[in-house]
Amino acid sequence: MATIKDIAEKAKVSSATVSRILNQDESLSVTEQTRERVLKIAKELHYIKKKSTSNSTGKNTSSDTVIGIFQWYSMFEELEDPYYQSIRVGIEKYCANHQIRVIRCFHSDSDYKDLLKDVAALICIGKFNEHQMKSFTSITPNVIFLDMKTARIQSTTICLDFKQAVIDALDYLSKRLGHTQIAYLGGKEYLQDNTIYFEERKETFIQYCEKNRITYEPYLKEREFSAESGYVMMNELIKEGNLPTAVFAASDPIAIGSIRSLYEHGLKVPSDVSVMGFDDISVASFSTPPLTTIHAPAEFMGEYAAHFICTMAKGEFLEYQVPVRLTLPCELKIRKSCTYPKS
């Protein structure tokens, strides 16, 4: 059976344009020749328009709307770092509320192009290189990348304001609490071609410390974004015998792992070492002590991306779309894991 995508390819217009023409959208700015060509091709291909269904709220939803989700994390990796899981949950929550069917794929799926061939739009979660980005846009023109910032605005992306978030965190540790020896415990993320993705949190941390004369060089460590890595990195700092007065961890799992290490070595948080995380995952407020962290609106990012991409797929944007970069703010959550350094 013919699809909107089949008609769009033959008519040499976007799927969104075909959808609006078939739905008799008079507000669409196209020539009469284009309308007639699309309708003629639809008739030739024997296209059958699917009926709309109504959900419990009485809103009409299109039963042929399918959104693809491509994840660079596996299910196992999601458990290690719930940040990406929260993004996915936000997407799926929005789609469930609007009766939109979702197809999920992972980087390990070699046949992902076949699985995603009929999607109206595609949401890619994670970090991708140029080759992968081109591969995704060959599936559908309606693609959005989450948690990734490109050097140039060449694709639509949604990311977090990491730079301001790190500045807010270090302002609190150094200017409000008085810490001058601060560790950075982070993770490295690798693209498919094995290059390391630029870590804006680390870069901003280094620039801030150098500008404000904060000692950080002996305490800067990177492994993976997991609790185990936080535990190992803190063990290394303790073994080296030169502890900072505060730790800035690039994720909550890293922070939680580092706290475990400190407790096992008889050190107390925050009286001996203050620890700050990043993400504000669900367990952060239930750790011992409750974790001071940066709230990253991951689930909202997923919901917003689903709404944005569905709007694009329905053709409610200009016919000639321009890529945009959307940046969401983060917020400092002060709890009990940070205090003044010992005199």
Question: Positive or negative, the Cα torsion across 123, 124, 130, 134?
Answer: negative
* pLDDT higher than threshold 70 for residue 25: no
Pick 339 or 191 by higher pLDDT: 339
Nearest to 250 by CA among 273, 229, 267: 229
pLDDT band at 55 (very low <50, low <70, confident <90, very high): very low
Residue 135 near residue 111, CB atoms below 8 Å: no
pTM confidence score: 0.78
CA separation for the pair 145, 221 (Å, rounded): 28
Strands 331-333 and 293-295: antiparallel
What class has domain 162-296?
alpha beta
Give the residue-averaged pLDDT of 302-318: 80
Length of the chain: 343
Fold match between 57-160+299-328 and 162-296? yes
pLDDT band at 57 (very low <50, low <70, confident <90, very high): very low
Q: How high is the pLDDT of residue 218? A: 96
CA separation for the pair 101, 92 (Å, rounded): 9
Residue in this structure with the two tokens 């919901």, named with its chain if needed: 303
* pLDDT higher than threshold 90 for residue 8: no
Q: Residue 294 to residues 33, 152, 251, 275: CA-CA distances in angstroms?
A: 54, 27, 9, 12
Nearest to 338 by CA among 268, 257, 259, 276: 276
Instruction: Say what percent of the chain tops pLDDT 70.
Output: 91
Tokens at 265, concatenated? 């070595």
CA separation for the pair 140, 121 (Å, rounded): 6
Going from N- to C-terminal start, the domains of the chain cover 4-44, 57-160+299-328, 162-296
Give the residue-averaged pLDDT of 185-209: 94
Instruction: Give the tens place of pLDDT for each residue, 204-259.
Output: 999 999 999 999 999 999 999 999 999 999 999 999 998 999 999 999 999 999 99
* pLDDT higher than threshold 50 for residue 54: no
Residue 237 near residue 243, CB atoms below 8 Å: yes
CA separation for the pair 320, 304 (Å, rounded): 22
Residue 158 near residue 138, CB atoms below 8 Å: no
Which DSSP helix (H) or strand (E) runs through 36? helix 32-44
* pLDDT higher than threshold 60 for residue 51: no
CA separation for the pair 116, 109 (Å, rounded): 11
Residue 13 near residue 34, CB atoms below 8 Å: yes
Which DSSP helix (H) or strand (E) runs through 34? helix 32-44
Cβ of 54: how many Cβ atoms within 10 Å?
10
CA separation for the pair 316, 295 (Å, rounded): 32
User: Which DSSP symbol is given to 219?
Assistant: G
- What is the C-alpha R_g of the chain? 24
Residue 270 near residue 247, CB atoms below 8 Å: no
What class has domain 57-160+299-328?
alpha beta
- Give per-residue burial for 163-187: e unless 16+ CB within 10 Å, then b: bebbebbbebbbeebebbbbbbbbb
SS3 call for 320: coil
Give the residue-averaged pLDDT of 319-331: 86
Tokens at 16, concatenated? 């969104």
User: Which DSSP symbol is given to 317?
Assistant: S
Strands 157-160 and 220-223: unpaired
Q: How high is the pLDDT of residue 59? A: 42
pLDDT band at 304 (very low <50, low <70, confident <90, very high): very high
CA separation for the pair 167, 77 (Å, rounded): 28
Q: How many Cα atoms sit within 13 Å of 57 on the Cβ side?
A: 7
Residue 244 near residue 220, CB atoms below 8 Å: no
